[in-house]
Amino acid sequence: MAERSRPSRLNLHLVLMLALTFSTGIVDAVGYLGLDKVFAGNMTGNVVILGMALAGAEDLPWVGPMLALFAFMAGAVVGGRVLRTSDAGWSLRTTWLIGVVGVVLGIAGAGLFVTDGTPPPPWELAATLLLAASMGLQAATARHIAVKDVTTVVVTSTITGLAADSRLAGGKGQPWIRRTAAIVLIAAGAVVGALLLMLHIGWGVIAAAVISLVVAIVGHIAARRALRSEPTLP
As a whole number of angstroms, the distance between CA 105 and CA 102 comes to 5
As a whole number of angstroms, the distance between CA 5 and CA 230 comes to 9
Percentage of the chain beyond pLDDT 70 is 94
pLDDT value of position 36 = 80
Q: Of 58 and 54, which is predicted with more confidence?
A: 54
- pTM above 0.95? no
pLDDT value of position 3 = 47
Q: Does domain 2-229 have CATH number 1.20.1250?
A: yes
As a whole number of angstroms, the distance between CA 28 and CA 71 comes to 14
pLDDT value of position 10 = 77
Q: Is 154 helix (H, G, I), strand (E, B) or coil?
A: coil
CB hemisphere CA count around 58 (13 angstroms): 0
Q: Which among 134, 152, 20, 155 has a CA at the least distance from the CA of 72?
A: 134
pLDDT value of position 11 = 86
* pLDDT tens readout for residues 154-176: 888 889 888 888 888 877 778 88
Rounded to whole angstroms, what are the CA distances from 178 to 19, 88, 163? 12, 20, 13
Note whether 83 and 141 are within 8 A (CB): yes
pLDDT value of position 201 = 93
Q: Predicted confidence band at 122 (pLDDT cuts at 50, 70, 90)?
A: confident
Domain spans of the chain?
Answer: 2-229
As a whole number of angstroms, the distance between CA 219 and CA 17 comes to 10
Q: Predicted confidence band at 24 (pLDDT cuts at 50, 70, 90)?
A: very high
